[in-house]
């Protein structure tokens, strides 16, 4: 186990823009994140109903796809990206709407292949050219806040609004959500857990206690059925996946489908771009809290890894949720424990890497899959609610002037209700006609208004 001198980066093997870190060699395994990964794989398994309902796959085929996707999640920490990756979650309703335009069967699968392949290519282009890092610096803080605010509001309203999961599991989601917020973000909990070994131990596991409580409450109030635990070994259906889903088996989409997917590709990237902003903000917070480790987040590197995942999976196992650069809720949860000091977590890569290794193991074990199957929609809902909290919290930090706050609010509302393209357009227009409120003309106008 290689050590790390105070204030330096965690050791790695240099490989161009990538920084290869191997578990047990370049970072320690963190047991709290192992347990979180085993239970929060319930959210990863939430992709199964998306696959079965939208694409008509069997449960066994969909589970095989989740296992393959879980393996590729580990590329991020392995290649030096300090995040817990996930789906492009806010884009999911738009993606399902796009796929719904095609007939169930090969046509719909071809549409998904075209979309994911083009999204992957765009990620790679942004990473290779370096435009990803430049764009993050170019975008005004007010628009960054608007993107984050829109993503946060969309995540919460999607769960709490008409047709959301809250209407189906109100008691389980309400209690689980409140417990998640209390454990992860309550200043009072952080102060009292120092005095209690039990609460301190509970706090290490992030959202896990909330999911366990939701499972018990859901069964008790009959919102979900009692789990039927299956002890058999699941044999992945790799051959069936290649034959019936992969373009290696059903062929590649036609040019017309690629062209039809282009507008959606742009919208998906705009939404995913918010994840890069969130990642950078979360890592900046962690860097400020811990001076013993220098964490290097590179948006170009993150784009390249996310692009590689999307391209590879579009050819092997096209995935309806797509391959996003960040799972904001878990990244925030692990970061909160990391901030407590090196005695709690040696390196942030240990926390992120341990979580993704464990979640891959979890989705591969049938006893865990069958135990968590009833609580899958609730776990997904809790994740989205926490993601909404994190996005809106960080959005507030980006704004300083009243003008920036107002712009972010309007842009975020438009983005959440009308989509990414509309939100971006409104944000740009407002930025040019209002500005940030920091220039001398605005200061003079404010002074005159105050005098009057």
Q: So what's the pLDDT on residue 222?
A: 93
In-domain check, residue 31: yes
In the predicted model, is pLDDT for residue 447 greater than 70? no
Nearest to 421 by CA among 147, 159, 158, 101: 147
Q: So what's the pLDDT on residue 438?
A: 65
Count structural domains, the chain: 2
Regarding whether 178 and 105 lie in a shared domain, the answer is yes
Average pLDDT over residues 86-103: 83
In the predicted model, is pLDDT for residue 121 greater than 90? yes
The pair phi, psi for residue 20, each rounded to 5°, is: -75, 125
Regarding whether 430 and 343 lie in a shared domain, the answer is no
Residues in contact with 179: Cβ distance below 8 Å, sequence separation at least 6, in sequence order: 209, 210, 213
In-domain check, residue 1: no
Average pLDDT over residues 88-116: 88
The pair phi, psi for residue 15, each rounded to 5°, is: -150, 80
In-domain check, residue 280: yes
In-domain check, residue 182: yes
Regarding whether 299 and 164 lie in a shared domain, the answer is yes
What is the distance, to the nearest Å, from the Cα of residue 234 to the centroid of all Cα atoms in its chain? 27
In the predicted model, is pLDDT for residue 443 greater than 60? no
Question: Is-contact 145 398, C-beta < 8 A?
Answer: yes
Question: Is-contact 127 298, C-beta < 8 A?
Answer: no
Sign of CA dihedral 208, 150, 353, 2: negative
Most trustworthy range by pLDDT among 194-203, 258-267, 305-314: 305-314
Average pLDDT over residues 216-237: 91
pLDDT digits (tens, 9 = 90+) for 126-172: 999 988 767 767 888 898 888 888 888 888 888 888 888 899 999 99
Regarding whether 317 and 423 lie in a shared domain, the answer is no
In-domain check, residue 6: no
Regarding whether 305 and 251 lie in a shared domain, the answer is yes
Average pLDDT over residues 374-394: 85
Give the domain-ending residue among 356, 380, 398. 398
CA angle 225, 36, 20 (to 5 degrees): 140
Q: How does DSSP assign 122-179, residue by residue? A: HHHHHHHHSHHHHHHHHS-HHHHHHHHHHHHHHHHHHHHSTTSGGGTSHHHHHHHHHH
In-domain check, residue 4: no
- Tokens for 276, please give them: 């890069």
Regarding whether 101 and 63 lie in a shared domain, the answer is yes
Question: Is-contact 39 208, C-beta < 8 A?
Answer: yes
Percent of the chain scored above 70 by pLDDT?
Answer: 95
User: Is 0.85 topped by the overall pTM?
Assistant: no
Average pLDDT, the chain: 87
Three-state SS at 395: helix
Q: So what's the pLDDT on residue 439?
A: 57
Q: So what's the pLDDT on residue 449?
A: 44
In the predicted model, is pLDDT for residue 378 greater than 80? yes
Regarding whether 311 and 170 lie in a shared domain, the answer is yes
Most trustworthy range by pLDDT among 113-122, 199-208, 407-416, 437-446: 113-122
In the predicted model, is pLDDT for residue 201 greater than 80? no
Regarding whether 315 and 198 lie in a shared domain, the answer is yes
> Minimum mean pLDDT among 84-98, 111-125, 312-326: which range?
84-98
pLDDT digits (tens, 9 = 90+) for 214-226: 999 999 999 999 9
Percent of the chain scored above 90 by pLDDT?
Answer: 46
Q: How many other CB atoms are there within 10 angstroms of residue 310's CB atom? A: 29
Q: How many other CB atoms are there within 10 angstroms of residue 213's CB atom? A: 16
pLDDT digits (tens, 9 = 90+) for 25-51: 999 999 989 988 988 887 788 888 888
Measured CA to CA in angstroms, residue 357 lies from 52, 77, 160, 318 at distances of 25, 10, 31, 22
- Tokens for 30, please give them: 């963190």
Three-state SS at 276: helix
Three-state SS at 43: helix
pLDDT digits (tens, 9 = 90+) for 421-430: 788 889 999 9
Regarding whether 386 and 444 lie in a shared domain, the answer is no
In-domain check, residue 284: yes
Regarding whether 411 and 276 lie in a shared domain, the answer is no
Burial class of residue 236 in the structure, from the number of CB atoms within 10 Å of its CB (0-12 exposed, 13-18 middle, 19+ buried): middle
The pair phi, psi for residue 325, each rounded to 5°, is: -85, -5
In-domain check, residue 2: no
In the predicted model, is pLDDT for residue 2 greater than 60? no
Regarding whether 421 and 390 lie in a shared domain, the answer is no
In the predicted model, is pLDDT for residue 254 greater than 50? yes
In the predicted model, is pLDDT for residue 103 greater than 70? yes
Q: How many residues does the chain have?
A: 452
The pair phi, psi for residue 408, each rounded to 5°, is: -60, -40
Regarding whether 321 and 191 lie in a shared domain, the answer is yes
In the predicted model, is pLDDT for residue 64 greater than 70? yes
CA angle 138, 142, 145 (to 5 degrees): 100
Domain that holds residue 298: 13-398
pLDDT digits (tens, 9 = 90+) for 268-306: 887 788 788 888 888 999 999 898 999 999 989 999 999
Q: So what's the pLDDT on residue 270?
A: 79
Measured CA to CA in angstroms, residue 44 lies from 11, 231, 383 at distances of 30, 20, 11
């Amino acid at each position: 186990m290689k050590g790390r001198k105070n204030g330096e980066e965690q050791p790695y093997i240099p490989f161009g823009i990538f920084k290869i870190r191997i578990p047990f060699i370049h970072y320690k395994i963190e047991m709290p994140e192992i347990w979180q990964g085993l239970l929060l794989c319930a959210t990863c398994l939430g992709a199964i109903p998306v696959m079965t309902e939208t694409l008509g796959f069997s449960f066994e085929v969909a589970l095989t796809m989740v296992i393959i996707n879980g393996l590729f999640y580990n590329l991020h920490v392995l290649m030096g990206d300090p995040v817990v990756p996930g789906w492009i979650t806010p884009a999911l309703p738009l993606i399902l709407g796009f796929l719904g335009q095609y007939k169930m069967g090969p046509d719909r699968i071809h549409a998904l292949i075209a979309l994911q392949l083009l999204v992957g290519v765009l990620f790679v282009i942004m990473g290779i050219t370096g435009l990803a890092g430049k764009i993050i610096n170019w975008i005004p803080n007010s628009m960054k806040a608007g993107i984050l605010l829109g993503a946060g509001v969309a995540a919460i309203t999607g769960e709490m609004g008409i047709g959301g999961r809250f209407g189906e599991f109100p008691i389980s989601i309400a209690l689980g959500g409140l417990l998640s917020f209390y454990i992860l973000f309550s200043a009072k909990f952080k102060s009292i857990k120092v005095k209690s070994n039990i609460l301190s131990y509970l706090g290490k596991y992030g959202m896990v206690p909330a999911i366990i409580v939701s499972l018990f409450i859901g069964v008790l109030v009959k919102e979900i059925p009692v789990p039927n635990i299956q002890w058999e070994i699941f044999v992945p259906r790799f051959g069936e996946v290649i034959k019936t889903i992969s373009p290696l088996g059903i062929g590649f989409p036609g040019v017309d489908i690629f062209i039809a997917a282009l507008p959606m590709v742009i919208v998906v990237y705009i939404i995913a771009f918010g994840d890069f902003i969130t990642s950078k903000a979360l890592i900046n917070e962690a860097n400020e809290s811990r001076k013993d480790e220098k964490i290097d987040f590179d948006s170009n590197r993150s784009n390249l890894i996310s692009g590689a995942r999307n391209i590879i999976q579009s050819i092997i196992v096209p995935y309806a949720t797509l391959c996003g650069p960040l799972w904001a809720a878990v990244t925030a949860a692990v970061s909160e424990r990391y901030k407590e000091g090196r005695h709690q977590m040696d390196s942030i890569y240990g926390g992120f890497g341990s979580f993704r290794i464990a979640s891959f193991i979890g989705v591969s074990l049938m006893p865990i899959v069958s135990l968590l199957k009833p609580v899958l929609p609730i776990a997904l809902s809790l994740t989205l609610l926490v993601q909404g909290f994190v996005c809106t919290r960080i959005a507030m930090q980006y704004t300083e002037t009243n003008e920036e706050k107002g712009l972010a609010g309007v842009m975020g509302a438009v983005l959440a209700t009308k989509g990414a393209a509309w939100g971006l357009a409104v944000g740009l227009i407002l930025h040019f006609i209002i500005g940030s409120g920091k220039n001398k003309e605005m200061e003079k106008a404010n002074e005159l208004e105050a005098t009057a």
